[in-house]
């Protein structure tokens, strides 16, 4: 049987690119998102692409998702925790609820998904989990909520690598930098330009760049790589951008 993957937040942006990359590589993909489905222009005409509406902050949604996967495919080879949100502001202007919401989706939602995946993968003695963190975990002004959530994702990744390693389950993270998606297309043009100018490669990454790293970490050949972070950021993580 083909490999089976879940991609959270797969309806658009990076998650959609990951979904397409996995389908090309012969995976069955269950796309889960809070949206009603993929936007029409991006519909994937392939019977290996399934859509399951699931809010990763809701434990019951997640349990239903895993019940569906178990009943339909009886296995899960790969979980890609990609769903994430931003609500940027300097800390003195940040409403407490914007801190809670970002932590709830980016960190707790990822933890809830990992928990159900770990139960199923441990029972089958195989699995791969790839968590989408962000280069911003190193610190970005205006992102105290987001950077903290993505740093938490890396801590979570490292702990799960320790806990699940002996069950043939590898858990790794990908930390994208500036990537061209609906999330970054909402930035003011002058802000986007200055961010691009601060890149060592002087450009913006594409969702497919992230998808390629996920494909590598999610595959069976990476059985001796776990608890690691791969940056897909045009080199931005190499040094501080203060100058
Ligand atoms: N775009 C970038 O430059 C960039 C950089 C670093 C990290 N990232 C991370 O990559 C991931 C994808 O980002 P993107 O740019 O494609 O964003 P996006 O906003 O284009 O897509 C995110 C998807 O997640 C879904 N989602 C949001 N909340 C959800 C929830 N509670 N349950 C299920 N799905 C939910 C959204 O509906 C959307 O389809 C995020 O985790 C983001 O933090 C993005």
- 3-class secondary structure per residue, the chain: CCCEEEEECCCCHHHHHHHHHHHHCCCEEEEEECCCCCCHHHCCCCCCEEEEECCCCCHHHHHHHHHHHHHHHCCCCEEEECCCCCCCECHHHCCHHHHHHHHHHHHHHHHHHHHHHHHHHHHHCCEEEEEECCHHHHCCCCEHHHHHHHHHHHHHHHHHHHHHHHHCEEEEEEEECCECCHHHHCCCHHHHHHHHHCCCCCCCECHHHHHHHHHHHHCHHHCCCCCCEEEECCCHHHCCCCC
115 pLDDT tier (thresholds 50, 70, 90): very high
Please write the tens of the pLDDT for every residue from 5-56.
999 999 999 999 999 999 999 999 999 999 988 866 677 888 999 999 999 9
243 within a domain of the structure (yes/no) = no
Q: 82: CA distance to ligand 1 center in Å?
A: 6
Mean pLDDT, residues 69-73 taken together: 98
In the prediction, which pLDDT does 2 show?
A: 97
In the prediction, which pLDDT does 240 show?
A: 64
Please write the tens of the pLDDT for every residue from 118-171.
999 999 999 999 999 999 999 999 999 999 999 999 999 999 999 999 999 999
Which residues does a 6 A CB cutoff place in the pocket of ligand 1? Answer: 8-9, 11-15, 33-35, 55-57, 82-85, 105, 109, 132, 134, 176, 178-179, 181-184
Q: 84: CA distance to ligand 1 center in Å?
A: 4
Mean pLDDT, residues 170-182 taken together: 96
In the prediction, which pLDDT does 96 show?
A: 98
39 within a domain of the structure (yes/no) = yes
The catalytic residue positions are: 146
Q: 166: CA distance to ligand 1 center in Å?
A: 31
- Domain residues for 210? 4-238
For residue 109, which atom of ligand 1 is closest to its CA? 31
For residue 13, which atom of ligand 1 is closest to its CA? 16
Residue 232: is its pLDDT beyond 90? Answer: yes
184 pLDDT tier (thresholds 50, 70, 90): confident
Residue 67: is its pLDDT beyond 90? Answer: yes
**What is the best residue among 7, 14, 230 to mutate for testing ligand 1's pocket, by most ligand atoms within 8 Å of CB?**
14
In the prediction, which pLDDT does 38 show?
A: 84
For residue 14, which atom of ligand 1 is closest to its CA? 16
Q: 224: CA distance to ligand 1 center in Å?
A: 28
For residue 176, which atom of ligand 1 is closest to its CA? 6
165 within a domain of the structure (yes/no) = yes
In the prediction, which pLDDT does 165 show?
A: 98
Query: What is the distance between the alpha carbons of residues 171 and 110, in angstroms, rounded to a whole number?
Result: 12
Residue 174: is its pLDDT beyond 50? Answer: yes
243 pLDDT tier (thresholds 50, 70, 90): very low
Q: 134: CA distance to ligand 1 center in Å?
A: 11
In the prediction, which pLDDT does 241 show?
A: 56
Q: Nearest residue CA, atom 1 of ligand 1?
A: 179
Please write the tens of the pLDDT for every residue from 189-222.
999 999 999 899 999 999 999 999 999 999 999 9
**Which CATH number goes with the domain that contains 217?**
3.40.50.720
Q: Nearest residue CA, atom 13 of ligand 1?
A: 14
Please write the tens of the pLDDT for every residue from 84-111.
999 999 999 999 999 999 999 999 999 9
189 within a domain of the structure (yes/no) = yes
In the prediction, which pLDDT does 183 show?
A: 79
136 within a domain of the structure (yes/no) = yes
Residue 239: is its pLDDT beyond 60? Answer: yes
**What is the best residue among 37, 51, 79, 83 to mutate for testing ligand 1's pocket, by most ligand atoms within 8 Å of CB?**
83
**How many folded domains does the chain comprise?**
1
């Amino acid at each position: 049987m083909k490999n089976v993957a879940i991609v959270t937040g797969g309806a658009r942006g990076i998650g959609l690119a990951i979904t397409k990359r996995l389908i090309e590589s012969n995976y069955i993909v269950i796309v889960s998102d809070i949206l009603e489905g993929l936007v029409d222009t991006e519909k994937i005409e392939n019977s290996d692409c399934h859509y399951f509406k699931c809010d990763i902050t809701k434990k019951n949604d997640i349990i239903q998702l895993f019940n569906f996967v178990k009943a339909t495919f009886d296995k899960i080879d790969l979980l890609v925790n990609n769903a994430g949100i931003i609500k940027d502001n300097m800390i003195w202007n940040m409403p407490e609820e914007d801190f809670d919401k970002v932590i709830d989706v980016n960190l707790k939602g990822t933890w809830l998904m990992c928990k159900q995946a770990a139960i199923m993968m441990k029972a089958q003695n195989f699995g791969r989990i790839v968590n989408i963190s962000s280069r911003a975990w190193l610190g970005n002004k205006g992102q105290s909520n987001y950077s903290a959530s993505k740093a938490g994702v890396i801590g979570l990744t490292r702990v799960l690598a320790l806990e699940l390693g002996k069950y043939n389950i590898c858990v790794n993270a990908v930390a994208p930098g500036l990537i061209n998606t609906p999330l970054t297309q909402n930035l003011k043009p002058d802000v986007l330009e200055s961010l691009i100018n601060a890149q060592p490669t002087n450009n913006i990454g594409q969702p497919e760049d992230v998808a390629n790293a996920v494909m590598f970490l999610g595959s069976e050949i990476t059985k001796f790589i776990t608890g690691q972070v791969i940056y897909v950021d045009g080199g931005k993580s190499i040094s501080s951008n203060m100058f």
